Amino acid sequence: MKSKNYSENIIKVFKKDGFVLSEPDVLLDSDYIIQRSGENFRKLMLTFEDDTGKSMCLRPDLTVASCIKYLKENSKATSKIFYSGQAYRRSSNPKEKVINDQLGVEIIGSKKKEIDDEKVLKTILKSIDKTKIGNISIKVGDVSLFEKLIESLKIPERWRLRLKRHFWRPQYFEDLLNRLETNSDVDPVAIDLDKKKFSEMKNLDQNKEIANRKVSAILSRFDRKIKDPRLFLENKKIVKIIREFLKIHCSIDKTERTLKDFVKKYKLSKNILSDLTAIKNLSKISYKTIFLTNFGRDIEYYTGIVFEIYNSSKKEIARGGRYDGLLKSLGSKKNISAVGAAINLNNLKE
């Protein structure tokens, strides 16, 4: 009964804030989700084969299900929806339930990104206030800052791609940093051979084809490879910068100052701080809010602000964030602005 009262009060807030009920599908194509949303979902999903042998799953995530519905409806307008339903996911923690009762909101297709980020978080907080749960605390991150940092560093393009691609896999990411730091994936003999081959091919006809590729194209790639900064000391410094960045942990009202000091200390591009509007907006929230640069790495589709809300027992009662690339990964021809959050009704009780 208590859970029912929670739901009714939360839904009243959602409706008052302009969100309209949506009912995303319960059954989804599991291969479709894995191919387009990342392997992280595979370990979460409850899958089975239908009568035709097609792999299906119970929705592991209501955000993904809501985005699939948005695309099916071929909507081009801004969608402000809320949902009330269950997500079905496995967990490595045997104490966690497989079935999660959730209430959530999503804003899809709006161009007012910073306003929407704040709107979603405020709506969720107002909803939680209705449950009379006290001692709320919030963790906030912004995964886009990591990409800006990596783009500002003088490292080979292949390393930029690796680090951004595997940011969501902390253990493997640390292995990559160790390899970058020690140059363990660089073979000096191979580099010398590259340089020798480069010199030889410069004297060839640039339009000649070797293995279906023009000499000019091969030379262009060689040029990038042999000019890559591979000095051990330089790489060691770069890894230190990345590790120090991921240690940033401060009150949200001190985030801007902390990031500026970090950029100044390591003489980095100020582009990293080009847009902190979303963080500044969230700093106005009147709850204890901590900012961490290493936060939000467990859900691969986030692209900007991420947050989690906890009760006094440190149980996560809500989470959300910005995911501008998810709809494109699910089939849209372009990125579509989107932000959302869900309340976990299972954890609302103290």
Match domain 2-143+247-347 to its CATH number in 3.20.20.140, 3.30.420.40, 3.30.930.10, 3.50.50.60.
3.30.930.10
* pLDDT number for residue 154: 87
Which stretch of 63-67, 226-230, 274-278, 287-291 has the lowest confidence by average pLDDT? 226-230
Question: How large is the average pLDDT for residues 259-263?
Answer: 93
Q: How confident is the model at residue 308 (pLDDT cuts 50, 70, 90)?
A: very high
- Domain ranges for the chain: 2-143+247-347, 158-243
Nearest CA to 108 out of 293, 282, 330 is that of 330
Q: Which residues pair with 85 in a beta bridge?
A: 102
Q: What is the pTM of this model?
A: 0.79
Q: How much is the average pLDDT of 271-281?
A: 83
Q: Which of 141, 151, 169 is nearest to 276 (CA)?
A: 141
* More reliable by pLDDT, 75 or 29: 29
CB 63 within 8 A of CB 76: no
Do 145 and 255 meet the contact criterion of CB atoms below 8 Å apart?
Answer: no
Distance of CA 163 to the CA centre of its chain: 13
Q: Of 48-57, 254-263, 264-273, which has the strongest mean pLDDT?
A: 254-263
Asked whether the predicted pLDDT for residue 3 surpasses 70, the reply is no
pLDDT digits (tens, 9 = 90+) for 98-145: 888 899 999 999 989 989 999 999 999 999 988 888 788 999 999 999
Among candidate residues 128, 135, 199, 185, the one with its CA nearest the CA of residue 156? 185
pLDDT of residue 219: 74
Amino acid 31: pLDDT: 82
Bigger pLDDT: 322 vs 281:
322
User: What are the pLDDT digits (tens) for 157-211?
Assistant: 888 999 998 998 889 999 999 988 887 665 455 556 666 776 777 788 888 877 6
pLDDT at 206: 82
